[in-house]
Structure formats: structure tokens, C-alpha cells
Chain A
Amino acid sequence: MNRVLVEGGALAALALLLVAFVLYARRCGDRPRADGGYSRRSVFDRSFLREQLLRWTTTTDHREIGILYILFGTVAALWGGVDGMMMRLELLTPEATVWSEQTYNALFTTHGLTMLIFFVLPVFFGVGNYVLPLLLDADDMAFPRLNAVGFWLLPPALLLARFGLVAQVAAQVLGAVSPGQLATLFGVMEEPGIGWTLYTPLSTTQANPQIDFLLLGLHLSGIATVIGAINFVVTIVYERGEDVGWSNLDILSWNFLVTSGLVLFAFPLLGSAIVMLLLDRNFATTFYAVSGGGAILWQHLFWFWGHPEVYIIFLPSAGLMSFLLPKFVGRSLFGFRYIVYSTLAIGVLSFGVWAHHMFTTGIDPRLKASFMGISIAIAVPSAIKTFNWITTIWDGEVRLAAPMLLCLGSIGTFVVGGVTGVFLAAIPVDIIYHGTYYVVGHFHMIVMGIIPMMMLAASYYWYPLITGRLYDRRLAKFQAGLFIVGSVVTFGSLLALGFGELPRRYANYPVEFAPLQRVASVGAFVIGVAVLLWLYNMVWSYWNGKPVEDADVWDLKRTGQFTREWAWFEDRLERRYAVEPTEPDPETVRPSSTDDPSVGSPDVLRDPRGLVRSVLADTLYGALGGLLGTLAMTGVLFTGALVGVFDLRGFVELSELVGVEGSIAAGYAVFLLGGMTTWAILFRALAEYLPGRLLVVTGVSYATIMSLGFAVAFYTGQSGLALVGYLAFVLVAHWLYGIGLAGTLRYAEYRRDLEGSGMSGGGSGDPPEGDR
């Protein structure tokens, strides 16, 4: 298929549809405004167009530049996303039948570069630009004009980096109209197919001049990023308001400060490495030639930027998580100080792990070992963040709004992405999985898990503040769920492909991998649909959403979390639209940080006895419920074994998995133990968040989810009707487990309620004084 025609056409169609939809949404919203203001001027009014063009190209206002950054990042995301969708189309078939191999190479190269450099950082810089000065009580960024320069370097940088597509479109149009030297000149400039890591010697020996343009574009984007980072650092250090000190600096600002610090150390090095690569390509220097510095030198320099870059794009999302999560659980961030320490630790350690990308090269084994140690160590601060997020949720008043759903999904994908990273940090494992889909699955769990999910969460959270309107909340929740499911399915499948050691970056693959590849592709298309739904919601609501009538959109005043940016918004609403500030009902107010166990925060350190008692009781009842449930489950499974749809060999494999002798009895003992402990305790922890108004229904929901894992783990090659029967028996067995477990716990709660109300089990307690 003609890649240029398809991608150019898809992008053009997307742009046209978007413009048409913007005009339509604007027209639908063109009615008397809530504030009694005048209706808008037509977009076709030339003076209006001129004014707007002048305003947006010359603005130095931090909020407007923030919006420009976000818009630019969104455009880049759509462009890189189209690349991704095209790759997934190719991988629907084992042979390269949709695109040529060279086109596929170009697709994964440009997809990676566009997403990492031109999508993620600009969007985070946009978020930072918009809200950081408001959070810091600053008038603007420290260097407003430099801020504008930093942004305006990005569009030409993107154009340079992706000029291959533009040139190919020009070549094909010119070739069709008047073939000649100009068409040939553009035709030579193909999108590079050398991988986003631009490894030498491939990148130095390929004659394609577009590689030089790409390098120039990357260099320019690096300059833009450094300018932005300098601005953030100076703003956070010097532009804070009088009552904003280091002790009460918000967590998002801390994360941006560390991120900007990393940028200052990492990006100049990338610039230098790129300059040397350009010199090697064009001026016959030998920085990366065998006779000079060697090809491995590029890998060292590239990854000295590349791995901190991973944390440069992760830390803002971690900051957003730490900032947003408490707002939706009504509790302040647990272990705030340690999250700050973990951010600083990640910042330092991120510069000491770069060679874990090079475990399969010939570097000294002792060096490799040290990098392995630091790579595993960097999991510790990441885990500190994760556990603190989970502890923040614990016992909070969880509100499952779209940002919260995205936070929960992010924690899940981040844990999977992080744990697979720990495995890859171990040299022996990396030797096997290096260059396979396992690596692709691992890093996509982060870069398509927590990073864009936090962007979406931020977009939903601050949308009312930016636009003064509300979006469609039901659609937002649906979109969030869709995005999470799509990501897990797609990148979970890639991890599974990696377990099969399928090498990455090949357009052709053995036919036995086709089913998983197809699942991954369908998941990717689900993500694509989710992104379009987000775009629809954002654009439509901008003109047609319900106007904000209360600045406390998220009910933050009730728990004392109404932060500065919302206070600024409230002030603006009052000044501009005379919207009176509201106060929550004093009856419902409770502090987000407190030592009083009756209002939320568990007072673990001061009164551990009650906690220990309840934990012990929960554990005992859970174990009893688990025992009853597992025994009921056993009956169904053994019936299945008699019928011939369930194989008891599954228990043997289970016993071998935990390292005891391989027998059915030992396996069953492990199974029974798991049912009484792990799964029962997990149910106690999750029951509140699972569907079902009655605990027994919740138990059945929980068991249904569990049955999926069981069905995979105990599968012994059944097919056809035997497979259908196996799945049915597994499902019914799990339902019985859920009913047994939840029923026991419900009974225990009933008993406890009776005791708490002063009545004994049989209701034979002494009657109250007055009844005698």
C-alpha cells in the first residue's frame, strides 16, 4: 500500500474533520452566553482572523503558551498515533503484505520519535506552563518572552523531523503532475527507517538526507526543551509568592523542578551527540566510526540522554498522580515528604542506569553489573511512590470520576511496567529478552499507561478551569475505561509475545504469533477510538458544555484541598461573571489530613490495638470464608475432572510452580492455602470497589474476575466443546467460591453488628434499664 497516500490522506482527513467539527461545535454553541455577553464574531471575518493570529503568535502569557503547547502536543500525538495504527495494521498478517518492510521500519522510527519528543514533553510543558504559576502564586513564568521562544522552536523542529512525509507527498504530487529534478529531490528524502535510537553505524552510513533533517529537528527540539526547563527552574525557585516556601511547595512543582533539572543535564548532551553524528555523516569525522570513537560511543551518549529522558517524561506524570489522587479520595497525600525524596532520588539515579540498554553489547561485565545494581535500585523510589499512592487511597472516600479512574488504571499499568522493568534490569533475563516484544510491552506499559493517562486525567481535572465549562462526565468515564482496557490488552499482548521471544522491529513474523498480534492490534484500535472520543469531548464541550456555576467543581473545599489555581479561578469567576464563591455545608466538612480515626485517616501509630484486632478478625473470617469457598469450588472442579473437562494435572503444575514436590495432593494444598489467604485478603481489600450492592454479589463479581486468571493458569490444552465445558466449570466453581467467601464475611459482619449493639448472638442480652 502507498504509505504516503494513506498517511497523508488520513492526516488530511483528520484535520478537515476536526476543523469542520470545530466550526459546527462553535456554531451550535453560538447562543446568548450564560454571562449575558455578546455572541461571537464569525471565524470568516478577516479582521477577527488577523486579531486572533496576532494574539496567538505573539502571546507571552503563560496560560496561552500552555494551551499552545498542549495543542501542539495533541497534533503530534495524532500524527505519531497514525504511525502506530499503521504499524498495527501491518502486524495483522504474519507476512509484510500491507506495507513494505522499509515502510514498516520508517513507521516504528517516526512513531517513537514523534511520540517521545514532540508529544509527551510539549504536553507536560503545557500543563506546567498553565498551572505552575497559579500554584506558585506567581504572576507569570520567570522569562515570558523566552517562554514563547521555547514554544515557537517546536513547530519547525517537528516539521524538520517529519519532513520525510511532507517531501514524499510533494514528490508524488510533482511526479504525477510534472516529473523532474524537483520531484526526484523530494523523492530522495524518505522517512528514515533506522529505529528511534538512531544507532550507528546504520545512521552514519545510510545516505538518506532526511536523516540530517531529522537530526536538525531533534537538535532544535532539544534547545526548545532546555529553554523551557530553565524557565521552570527559575520560576519555581524565584517567582514563588510570599506564602509559598520550600516547606509548603506543592508536589507537582517539586516534580517539575526535578524534571527540569534532568533536562538541563541530559538534553545538552543529546545536542552534542547529534552534532557529532551530523559531522560524521557530512564531514567525514570519525566520532562513531571504528577508526575513531566506535559505534558503541553513540549508544553511551544516546542513552546517557535517553534513560533520563524516560524519567523526564515519567516524573511529571508521577507529579500529576500525586497531585490529583488526593483530591478524589478526600485525603492528603500519604508520605508527602518521602514522595519528594523519591522524586529527587529518581532524578539522581536516572543518570546511573543508561548502560542497562547495552547489556548485550561487549562492555565490561563489571560495568554491566554496576548498572544492573543501580537499575534495580531505581525501582525502590518508584515503589515508594506507588505504595504511597495506594496508601493515600486506603480508607479514603473514593469518588470514581474520570480522573480517578485514570489514576487507578495508571497505578495498575505502572506496576506492570515497573515490575517488568525490574526483570529487564537483571542481566541474565535481559540477555534473553533484549530486542524482543517483552521490552516493547514493558516500556509501553509506562509510556501508554501512566503518562498519557495522567495527561487525560489532568485534562479532565482542569478542563473547567481552562474553559469555564464542564465536559460530558459519563463520556469521560467511558473514555477513561476504554483507554485503560485498550492499553492493558494491547501491551499485555506484547508482553506475552515477548515471553515467546518474538524479536521486535520486524514486519514479518512466524505465523504462530498471529493470534496475539491480532489481539494487540484490536486493542490498539480501541485506544485510537478512545483518543478520538476524548478529542470529541474536549472540542464539543468547549462551546457546548454546561457553564461552570461554582468554582469548587470537584468539591475540594469540603476536605480543605481547594488549591491556589482553583482559588484564582473562583476569583476570576466572581470578577468576570459575578459568580459568588460557595462554602460547603459545615456538617460535611472533614479535613483531608487528621489524626482522628473517626474522620478518615487511620491512626496507626497512636492506637495500633484496635487496628490489630480488626485485622486479625478480618484475617480469621477471611480464612474461614476462603476455606468454605474453596471446598465448594473443589466439588465443582472434581466433578469437572470426572466429566473430563478439567485435568487434575493443573494442581501438579501449581505445586511445581511454588517449588514443592510435583503431586496433585501438594498442589491442592497450595490451592487451598491460596484460597484461604491471598485471594480472601485481596477480596477484603477490593470489595469496596467492585460492582454489586450486596456483598455476595460483590463476591461473585470478584470471583468472575479471578476465574479468568484461573482459566489461563489451569488450562491443559482443552479444545472445542471440552474447552467450553472447562470454562463453564471454572466459572461456576469460582462463583461458588465467591458466594462462600462473601457469605461468611457478611455473616461475620452481622455478628459484629449484633455485638456492637450490645446484643449477644442469640439476642438474649439483658433488656435495657427502662424496660424492666
Chain B
Amino acid sequence: MVRDALLTYGVPFLGTVLLAAGIGAAVLGGYGAVQAEAGLCGAPTIGVESPADTERLRSGYGDGGPTLRTLPFDDLSPAERAAFADGVDAFDGEGAVDGAFPNREAFEDGVLVAYEGETYYATLRSTRPCTSVDPILLPLGLAAMAFGALGVLTPPLYRRYAAFERRQG
């Protein structure tokens, strides 16, 4: 009775918990291993609003708005300039700073950039940090998933084995 309950419900339950934990560990471990090599992290993204939206945002505050720094486009580093230009052209206003980012603090606060006679409001949208996980997380996660799946499949496997033993006499 107890053994039946243990095999039907207990072991598969522990297996499911292992499987669930293994999914998280394996995904993070696997992604952490390839993320940097694939260039999927490390370059922060900035968002650039159109001049019209910039004016709308500023006028919305009336006289009591925040005091924003204004940076001329030429004062930005090459990587910042490239990201800003990408942001102006992109439909989602986003560009990645792939290189030196000396004005990072200003972008974190939100900054006005003077570019070709227009003023653009720009902010840091994402720091895009790389996942830092222990390299052993991937094998551990995969092992947990395998053991977990075995746990979940225990009842049918056990029933089949019992039937096999009965057939053996």
C-alpha cells in the first residue's frame, strides 16, 4: 500500500521537482555558455525619441520639468554616435553601444542630444549584461532533467517491469 503510493505519487513528484529545477538550470547554464560568444550581451542599448516626441515630453511638464543635460552629437564617442544614429533611423528608436561608453551616466539619467539642428531625447534602455553562471550549472541541469524525467516515468516503467517479472514466472 505504502510502496504503491510511493511509486505512483512520491517518486514522480520528486522527479517533477528535479525536472523543473533542471529546466531552469540547463537553460541558464546553456545560454550563459554561448551568450557572450554569440554577441548576445555586453552592448548596452539606448533609445532615441523623435524631435516631435522630445518636444511633447518636455512641454508636458510645463515649467516644472526635470533639468536635462544637452550633449552635442560631436561630443559623443564613436560607439555612442553609431548607436545614436542607429536609434534615429530605427523604427523602434533603438541602437546598441558597441564600444566605449563614456557618457553612460548621462544616458542613464536621460539626456538631450543636439544633432543636425534638432534636439533628441535619449536614454539608456538596457544594460544587456551577460549571464554569469557557474559552468557546472549546465551539466547539473541536464542531469537533473534526466533523473527527473526518469522519476516521472517511474510508475509505467515499474508496471512494465513487474509484468515482465510475472511473465518470467
CB distance from B32 to the nearest CB of A (A): 8
Q: Is the CB of A102 within 8 A of B24?
A: no
- Asked whether any CB of chain B lies closer than 8 Å to the CB of A518, the reply is yes
Kindly report which residue of chain B lies nearest to residue A518, judged by CB atoms: B24
Kindly report which residue of chain B lies nearest to residue A527, judged by CB atoms: B20
Residue-by-residue, is A495-531 near B (CB-CB < 8 Å gives 1, otherwise 0)? 0000000000000000000000010011111101110
- Asked whether any CB of chain A lies closer than 8 Å to the CB of B77, the reply is no
Chain A interface main SS type: helix
CB distance from A449 to the nearest CB of B (A): 19
Q: How far is B45's CA from A475's CA once the two chains are assembled, in angstroms? A: 48
Determine, out of A20-28, A36-44, A476-484, A598-606, the stretch whose residues face the partner at the interface. A476-484
CB neighbours of B35 from chain A (8 A): 1, 97
CB neighbours of B8 from chain A (8 A): 474, 478
Q: Do A100 and B24 contact each other (CB < 8 Å), given the known contacts A474-B155, A481-B9, A526-B17?
A: no
- Asked whether any CB of chain B lies closer than 8 Å to the CB of A101, the reply is yes
- Asked whether any CB of chain A lies closer than 8 Å to the CB of B41, the reply is yes
Residue-by-residue, is A102-139 near B (CB-CB < 8 Å gives 1, otherwise 0)? 10000000000000000000000000000000000000
Q: How far is B4's CA from A477's CA once the two chains are assembled, in angstroms? A: 14
Q: Which of B16, B24, B41 contacts A97 (CB 8 A)?
A: B41
- Asked whether any CB of chain A lies closer than 8 Å to the CB of B103, the reply is no
Q: Is the CB of A93 within 8 A of B28?
A: yes
Q: Do A481 and B13 contact each other (CB < 8 Å), given the known contacts A100-B128, A525-B20?
A: yes
CB distance from A343 to the nearest CB of B (A): 35
Q: Is the CB of B9 within 8 A of A525?
A: no
Q: Is the CB of B20 within 8 A of A522?
A: yes
CB neighbours of B53 from chain A (8 A): 205
CB neighbours of A518 from chain B (8 A): 24
- Asked whether any CB of chain B lies closer than 8 Å to the CB of A187, the reply is yes
Q: How far is B4's CA from A478's CA once the two chains are assembled, in angstroms? A: 13
- Asked whether any CB of chain A lies closer than 8 Å to the CB of B70, the reply is no
The B-contacting residues of A in range 607-657, CB under 8 angstroms, are: none
Q: Is the CB of A522 within 8 A of B92?
A: no
- Asked whether any CB of chain B lies closer than 8 Å to the CB of A89, the reply is yes
Q: How far is B19's CA from A482's CA once the two chains are assembled, in angstroms? A: 13
- Asked whether any CB of chain B lies closer than 8 Å to the CB of A98, the reply is yes
Q: How far is B19's CA from A460's CA once the two chains are assembled, in angstroms? A: 25
Q: Do A525 and B45 contact each other (CB < 8 Å), given the known contacts A93-B131, A98-B131?
A: no
Q: Do A482 and B129 contact each other (CB < 8 Å), given the known contacts A89-B27, A97-B41, A529-B152?
A: no
- Asked whether any CB of chain A lies closer than 8 Å to the CB of B73, the reply is no
Q: How far is B153's CA from A529's CA once the two chains are assembled, in angstroms? A: 12
Kindly report which residue of chain A lies nearest to residue B17, judged by CB atoms: A526
CB distance from B151 to the nearest CB of A (A): 11
Q: Is the CB of A92 within 8 A of B28?
A: yes
Q: How far is B8's CA from A95's CA once the two chains are assembled, in angstroms? A: 39
Q: How far is B158's CA from A73's CA once the two chains are assembled, in angstroms? A: 35
Q: Is the CB of B23 within 8 A of A525?
A: yes
CB neighbours of A523 from chain B (8 A): 20
Q: Is the CB of B91 within 8 A of A187?
A: yes
- Asked whether any CB of chain A lies closer than 8 Å to the CB of B130, the reply is yes
Q: How far is B126's CA from A654's CA once the two chains are assembled, in angstroms? A: 45
Kindly report which residue of chain B lies nearest to residue A187, judged by CB atoms: B91
Q: Is the CB of A92 within 8 A of B24?
A: yes
Q: Do A190 and B23 contact each other (CB < 8 Å), given the known contacts A98-B131, A478-B13, A526-B16?
A: no
- Asked whether any CB of chain B lies closer than 8 Å to the CB of A96, the reply is yes
Q: Is the CB of A188 within 8 A of B126?
A: no
Give the interface residue-count category, chain A: 35 or more
Q: How far is B124's CA from A96's CA once the two chains are assembled, in angstroms? A: 14
Q: Which of A97, A478, A528 contacts B12 (CB 8 A)?
A: A478
CB distance from A448 to the nearest CB of B (A): 15
Q: How far is B152's CA from A1's CA once the two chains are assembled, in angstroms? A: 30
Kindly report which residue of chain A lies nearest to residue B94, judged by CB atoms: A102
Q: Is the CB of B130 within 8 A of A97?
A: yes
Q: Is the CB of B45 within 8 A of A482?
A: no
Residue-by-residue, is B85-120 near A (CB-CB < 8 Å gives 1, otherwise 0)? 000000110000000000000000000000000000
Q: Is the CB of A477 within 8 A of B20?
A: no
Q: Is the CB of A1 within 8 A of B40?
A: yes
CB neighbours of B31 from chain A (8 A): 1, 98
The B-contacting residues of A in range 526-551, CB under 8 angstroms, are: 526, 528-530, 533
Q: How far is B131's CA from A522's CA once the two chains are assembled, in angstroms? A: 19
Q: Is the CB of B129 within 8 A of A97?
A: yes
- Asked whether any CB of chain A lies closer than 8 Å to the CB of B81, the reply is no
Q: How far is B155's CA from A477's CA once the two chains are assembled, in angstroms? A: 13
Residue-by-residue, is B1-31 near A (CB-CB < 8 Å gives 1, otherwise 0)? 0000000110011001101110110011001
Kindly report which residue of chain A lies nearest to residue B28, judged by CB atoms: A92
Q: How far is B91's CA from A522's CA once the two chains are assembled, in angstroms? A: 37
- Asked whether any CB of chain B lies closer than 8 Å to the CB of A184, the reply is yes
Residue-by-residue, is B139-155 near A (CB-CB < 8 Å gives 1, otherwise 0)? 00000000000001001
CB neighbours of B58 from chain A (8 A): none
CB neighbours of A102 from chain B (8 A): 125-126
CB neighbours of A95 from chain B (8 A): 127, 129
Q: Is the CB of A98 within 8 A of B13?
A: no
Q: Is the CB of B92 within 8 A of A529?
A: no
CB neighbours of A525 from chain B (8 A): 19-21, 23-24
Q: Is the CB of B13 within 8 A of A97?
A: no
CB distance from A114 to the nearest CB of B (A): 21
Q: Is the CB of B45 within 8 A of A100?
A: yes
CB neighbours of A478 from chain B (8 A): 8-9, 12-13, 155
Q: Which of B24, B27, B56, B125 contacts A101 (CB 8 A)?
A: B125
Q: Which of A101, A475, A529 contacts B19 (CB 8 A)?
A: A529
Kindly report which residue of chain B lies nearest to residue A530, judged by CB atoms: B16
CB distance from B50 to the nearest CB of A (A): 9
CB distance from A86 to the nearest CB of B (A): 10
The A-contacting residues of B in range 44-59, CB under 8 angstroms, are: 45, 53, 56
Kindly report which residue of chain A lies nearest to residue B93, judged by CB atoms: A207
Q: Which of A101, A184, A524 contacts B126 (CB 8 A)?
A: A101
Q: How far is B20's CA from A97's CA once the two chains are assembled, in angstroms? A: 20
Q: Do A190 and B9 contact each other (CB < 8 Å), given the known contacts A93-B131, A522-B21, A529-B20?
A: no
CB distance from B9 to the nearest CB of A (A): 5
CB distance from A90 to the nearest CB of B (A): 10
Kindly report which residue of chain A lies nearest to residue B21, judged by CB atoms: A522
Q: Is the CB of A521 within 8 A of B13?
A: no
Kindly report which residue of chain B lies nearest to residue A94, judged by CB atoms: B129
Q: Is the CB of A100 within 8 A of B17?
A: no
Q: How far is B28's CA from A93's CA once the two chains are assembled, in angstroms? A: 9
The B-contacting residues of A in range 328-353, CB under 8 angstroms, are: none
Q: Is the CB of A188 within 8 A of B24?
A: no
Q: How far is B91's CA from A102's CA once the two chains are assembled, in angstroms? A: 14
Residue-by-residue, is A186-214 near B (CB-CB < 8 Å gives 1, otherwise 0)? 01101000000000000001000000000
Q: Is the CB of A190 within 8 A of B19?
A: no
| Selected A-B contacts with CB under 8 Å, 24 pairs | A1-B31, A1-B35, A88-B24, A89-B24, A93-B131, A95-B127, A95-B129, A96-B127, A97-B32, A97-B129, A101-B125, A205-B53, A474-B155, A475-B155, A478-B13, A481-B13, A482-B13, A482-B16, A522-B21, A522-B24, A524-B20, A525-B23, A529-B20, A530-B16
* List of 8 A-B pairs having minimum Cβ-Cβ separation, nearest first: A525-B20, A97-B131, A526-B20, A188-B91, A522-B20, A95-B129, A525-B23, A522-B21
List 9 additional A-B contacts (Cβ < 8 Å) besides A96-B127, A101-B126, A525-B24: A1-B31, A89-B24, A97-B130, A478-B8, A522-B21, A522-B24, A525-B21, A526-B16, A528-B20
User: Which residues of A pack against B, CB within 8 Å?
Assistant: 1, 88-89, 92-93, 95-98, 100-102, 184, 187-188, 190, 205, 290, 474-475, 477-478, 481-482, 485, 518, 521-526, 528-530, 533
